[in-house]
Structure formats: structure tokens, C-alpha cells
Amino acid sequence: MTNADSQRVQRNLTALIEFSRIINTSLDLNFTLNNLLFSCFGKFLTTKGFVALYSGDELNIAASKGLPHDFPDKLPDVTDTATRVSNGISSFLKDHHFEITEVIESSRKKLGIIALGEKINKAPYSDEEKEFLKIILNLAATSIENSQFIEELKVLNRQLDGRLNSLSSLFELSKEFSALVDEGRISKLLIYSLLGNFMMSGYAVIYCDDRRLRILESTYPKAVLMSTIEGRSAVSINRIMQGREIFDIFPGLESFAVSLCIPMQVQGESRGYMVLGPRINKSDYSEKDREFIYSVGGLAINALENKRLFKEALEKQKMEEELQIAKEIQKNLLPKFLPQIPEIEFAADSIPSKQIGGDYYDILQTGDSLYTVAVGDVSGKGVPAALLMANLQAFLKVTAKQNLPIEEATGLINNLITENTSDGRFITFFWLILDADEKNLQYVNAGHNPPLFIRNGKISHLDKGGIIFGVAPTMIPYIAEDVSLQKDDLIVLFTDGVTEAKNPDDDEYSDERFESLILRHASSGADEIMKVIKDDLREFVKATPQSDDITVVILKVR
Amino acid sequence: MAEFNAGITETGNVQVIELSGFLDAHTAPRLENTFNELLTRQQYRVVVNFRNLKYISSAGLGVFMAFIETMRGNGGDIKLTEMQPNVYNIFDLLGFPLLYEIFPTQQEGIQKFNQSSEK
């Protein structure tokens, strides 16, 4: 080897070591490629060149120097699998005065090519220079591959960041949703979270509680939206829908920009859904995006449902407390003991319905041998009915002691009741004043179910009187009727809860059944008849819950 | 829980919202109120300074989305400035730089408004 030769080899080696050292200090792909080009330029004294790397099957220019502005970004189609560059690209490179091209290849795969222009002295590339290029490309290949790994890792990392962000969003929302009590706030938060994640151009949140559709949030005109979604239950929106599928179900949405329709489900059942417009940055909703939206929607709907159930439970509890109060009032209004006298046998009972129907009865002693017997039915239920019932009792007690003629007293009570009701409530009322010594009675019926009067196996109805209480002040006087009593006369006062009691088939107990039962047992004592009535009613209704109180008062002349 | 604050200061005809603390699902309604206040006052040129914001979640980002169209529709904008890297990362991750102008300093954000109003 000549001295000059060994010097050249020495120089080459130094250049290689220098190059290797530099490109391995950085994982930045651009830095590596730039260095590769500069090293080649310096070594071969050339002024233009580029590196193109494979992305899939496509070769794209990744770094270049000294290329004319009009040089295409894309290289002609290169599908060669050979190590040598294909003919197609060779002629393209020749045309653009690239003197030499070489494949860049790692031990695992082909990475791309490098192409270099003519040397400045127009001399061809020597074999030794070609060999040098191969060595330098070998060194570069490792570095390029490493940089590409890093790029891929960065992409993966970013995807991971995205997933992490989604997860922390879900976590944060689930915490926040459960703390929110206000429906409006829940739907707002849902929208903010979706806006923050997806920047959709339009949206609507539809919630279905108690089979009623409501639009909680919407950027679309609400009236148009409502007319579009009306008549389709939320339950039928049971899967994520995109594009055309949405318009097949909601043709009206076609006029809006809508890309997604995602159900909001509680335990697999849709209780609402979200309609979302396209994203402002024009990118599509990925499958992960759709899953995320579905999850967030699930969180929101669960929160909404929980609030609703909680509210319902509260209202139910409140109602039950109220009913308990009404029950107490009613219980305290009814007489605890019935008069025990030789002339007349009394029996009375009232079975309150669950909602407290407002039945009232009373048996008062209002003179030495005078007894007042009354039955009333206040319209409405619950506490308001019970309070009006209490008023009625108070008025009755006061009036009964005035010893007024019964028709006049009735008019007075009606006036008092009318003054004390404002919300359309009324009372049907029947009362009688009985003189046990004289064996006669006087009654007035103010619109109540006519009590049955049974003598010698025949029923007549005590229906004389006038208008129900509470509708208008007394203009037309009530009419009273006198009835003189005989031994074994039977009088049965009752409320419509008896004759309108329902069986499991929703049939009514009926006046006919009641009257025929009474006739069959008219000869029995008052307590016995009461027992028979209750037994027959029980047999008829079975376990059917009754919507009205059931009240019966029986007088039997001894 | 984490502190959050959104204070408005007026600089010329630009409203600067200075954020601090944690902007998440819990505190997002407070920022919403701040924006609503600006709308009531018909102030649509907004620069948000994130210097002291430690954390932002997607619900917090959603608030910016909810108001951007109204601001722009009224000839204004929301410009974002002085974000900490971790906060910027979330904005970047969710693609906000495409839609919002983001500046390193509050001053640049304000200047941008003034430049465009001179034209």
C-alpha cells in the first residue's frame, strides 16, 4: 500500500468514525438525515441529493439539499422489492441528473434510498467512493431505524395520553355527576365535557322520564327537533348510529348537520340519547370516541335517573306522611263508642282506603232521647279531604245542639261549608235526628246515596232533601221528611265506597247486590248485618285495593 | 378541594380573564359564569391568561368551546395565552390549536386584537 493510499484510508476511517459519533448523539430523524447528506456532500463534493424513506410501500422524500423548487415531493411509483433501485425510478433520477442512488437498509428491512447529484468536477463516482457510501449508509440505517422507533413511540404515547385523558374525564365526571342534584347542571356538564373532547358543531340531549321526551340541551331549533323525535320512544334508540342510519329513523334531522346518535342507557335500557353534529376540526369520530361518548352519556343518564328516583322516593315519602296525618285526622273524627240504648241498636264501621277517601259518619246524643246520625262523603282525598271533614264535624256538632228544625240546620251547615271551600270541593251528606222515645225520625239528604229503609221485606230510599254541600249558598230550602218507626225497621246508611267497591275484574259491587244482601238479612240484628256486609264485600273484592273509603251505619229498631 | 379562580381585568377594549388553580368538571360552572358576565356586558374580545392555571380537564375545555362562536359571531374572539406545558398538552391533545389562537404572552394576545382592529 502506498503512503497516499494509506492516508486516504485513514481519512475515510476518520470520516466514518466522526459520522458515526455524530449521528448517534441524536434520535432526531431530521438531524440524522441532514448529517448523512452533508457528510456525503463533503466526501463526494456534490451539491444536491435527497433521502427518501418508505412509509408502507410508498417512498417519500424525508430530507433533501440543493434540489430545484419544482422537484416533486412524491417520487414515481416504486414497488420494487429488489435491492437495486428499479428501472422506473432510475430513469427518473437520470433525468434529474442524479448520478448515484443507493438503498438504505438495516438488518431487518429496507428503509429507503439516497440519491446524490453529479460531483462538482463531473467525475464519475469511483468504486471506492461507492464502497464508502455503502458503509456510511449502514451506519446511518441503524440510526434512522432508532429515530423511526422513537417517532412511533411518540405517536403511541400521544394515543396513550388521549386514552388517559378520556379515562380521567370519565372518572372526574362520575365523581361530579353524583354530587350534582340539579338536572340542568348534569346536562350542561355532559355537554361541556363532550365539547371539550370533541368540539362538535351541534348537539342535542334528549331525556325520557315517565315516557315523556324532553330536550335538555340543544343547539338545533327545539320546536323542529321535537317534532322530529316525537312519537319514537327512547328505548328504541338502542345502539350507536351514524350518518344515514340516523336519517332513516329521524328523517327530520337530515336538515341539520348530524353525524352521531348515541343512546344513554341505564342497565342496558335507553332512557335518552345524544345527537351530535360533525366535529369542527372535520375529523371523524373514531370507534374509541364513540365508546367514550357512550360511557359519558351512561354516567349522565344514571345521574339523571338517580335524581329522579330520589325525588320520587321523597315525594312518595312525603305523600305517605301526609296520608298518615289524614288517617289520624279521620280516625279521631269518627266516634269511638256508639250509644247503647234499649230502643235502637246501632252499628257503624268505616274502612279507610289507602289514600283516605274522606268518608265521615257520626252518632251523637243531642238531647235526652235525641240522637243525631250522619254520614258524609267529602270529595277529594288525603289531608285536604280530612280537613274539610273536620270542618263538617265541627259545624255538625255545633248546629245539632241548637235544636233548629233539621232542614234549617242543613241550610246553615251548607252555608258554612260553602264559605269554607274554595277549590271546588263538595260533600254529599245525609243526616237524621231520631227521637228514641217517640219512635220517629226526621232526615235530610243533601245529595248523598239514599240510605235504605227496610220494613216488612220492602226497601224504600231516604232521598228527600236538596243540593250537595259546598257548591252554592242555600237558596232553595232543604226538604226534611218525617218517618215514624216500628219494631224491626232497619235503616242502612252507606257511602258509594260500598256499592262502587271493585273486584279483580274491575266490576262494581253494585246497588243490586247490596240491596238483595240487606233484604236477605233484614231480620238480623245490626251487628250481625254489619258482619254479613263486610264478609260479602271481602269475598267480592278479594285482594283488590280500593280507591274509596267504605262506610256503613246501621240502625235497627228493637 | 382545589382552588379555582377566574378574575376579569380590562385592558383597553380587551377583557383579560386570569385563571388560577384547577379547572375541572367541578369548577367549570364558575368559568361559565365569568363568560356569561362578559356576554351581559357585551364584551366579546377576550384574552385568557393561563399562567396560574395548574390543571384543566376536558369539561373545562368545553366551556371555551361553548362560548367561542358567540364571541366570534359578535366580532370578538377568545385568545389563549401563557399556558403551562401540561395545560397546553391537553389543549394540543384535543386539537384546540386548530381553532384557537394561542400566544406565549398575554401582551401578544392583546396586541393581536389591536392589530386586527386597526385594519
Residues in chain B: 119
Residue A157, in any domain of the structure: no
Across the range A457-485, mean pLDDT stands at 94
Q: Are residues A264 and A380 in the same domain?
A: no
Round to the nearest angstrom and report the end-to-end CA distance of chain A: 152
> Within 10 A of B78 (CB to CB), how many other CB atoms are there?
24
Q: In the structure, what pLDDT confidence band is assigned to residue A172 with cuts at 50, 70 and 90?
A: confident
Across the range A260-283, mean pLDDT stands at 90
The CATH number of residue B86's host domain is: 3.30.750.24
Residue A316, in any domain of the structure: no
- Residue A386 has a pLDDT of 84
Q: In the structure, what pLDDT confidence band is assigned to residue A30 with cuts at 50, 70 and 90?
A: confident
Residues in chain A: 558
Domains of chain A: total: 3
Rg (CA), chain A: 48
B73 in contact with A, Cβ within 8 Å? no
Question: Taking CA atoms, what residue in B is nearest to A195?
Answer: B62
Question: Taking CA atoms, what residue in A is nearest to B63?
Answer: A192
Instruction: Name A323's Cβ contacts closer than 8 Å, sequence gap at least 6.
Output: A354, A355, A356, A382, A383
Q: Given an 8 Å threshold on Cβ–Cβ distance, is A192 in contact with B25? A: yes
Measure CB to CB from residue B98 to each of A179, A197, A281 and give the nearest one.
Answer: A281
pLDDT in tens, A217-244: 999 998 888 888 887 888 888 899 998 8
Q: Is the ipTM of this complex over 0.90?
A: no
pLDDT in tens, A241-266: 998 888 888 888 888 889 999 999 98
Using alpha carbons only, what angle is made at residue A549 by residues A547 and A555, rounded to the nearest 5 degrees?
Answer: 150
Judged against a pLDDT cut of 50, whether residue B1 lies above it is answered with no
Domain extent, residue B72, equals 4-118
B29 in contact with A, Cβ within 8 Å? yes
Q: In the structure, what pLDDT confidence band is assigned to residue A447 with cuts at 50, 70 and 90?
A: very high
- Residue A9 has a pLDDT of 77
Of A116, A135, A152, the residue at which a domain comes to its end is: A152
* Three-state helix/strand/coil letters over B4-55: EEEEEEEECCEEEEEEEEEECCCCHHHHHHHHHHHHHCCCCEEEEEEEEEEE
Round to the nearest angstrom and report the end-to-end CA distance of chain B: 46
Q: Are residues A122 and A208 in the same domain?
A: no
Residue A22, in any domain of the structure: yes
Measure CB to CB from residue A281 to each of B58, B89, B95 and give the nearest one.
Answer: B95
Judged against a pLDDT cut of 90, whether residue A16 lies above it is answered with no
| Separation CA A435–CA A442 (nearest Å) | 9
pLDDT in tens, A490-528: 999 999 999 999 999 999 999 999 999 999 999 999 999
Q: CA of A169, closest CA in chain B: separation in Å?
A: 6
Q: Are residues A399 and A275 in the same domain?
A: no
B84 in contact with A, Cβ within 8 Å? no
- Residue A73 has a pLDDT of 66
Q: In the structure, what pLDDT confidence band is assigned to residue B2 with cuts at 50, 70 and 90?
A: low
B89 CB neighbours in chain A (<8 A) are: 161
Domains of chain B: total: 1
Q: Are residues A360 and A305 in the same domain?
A: no
Q: What are phi and psi of A132, to 5 degrees?
A: -60, -45
Residue A42, in any domain of the structure: yes
The CATH number of residue A69's host domain is: 3.30.450.40
Phi-psi region of A470 (alpha: psi -120 to 50; beta: other; left: phi over 0): left
- Residue A229 has a pLDDT of 87
- Residue A82 has a pLDDT of 45
Q: CA of A211, closest CA in chain B: separation in Å?
A: 30
- Mean pLDDT highest for which of A71-85, A94-108, A481-495? A481-495
Residue A167, in any domain of the structure: no
- Residue A249 has a pLDDT of 87
Domain extent, residue A211, equals 180-309
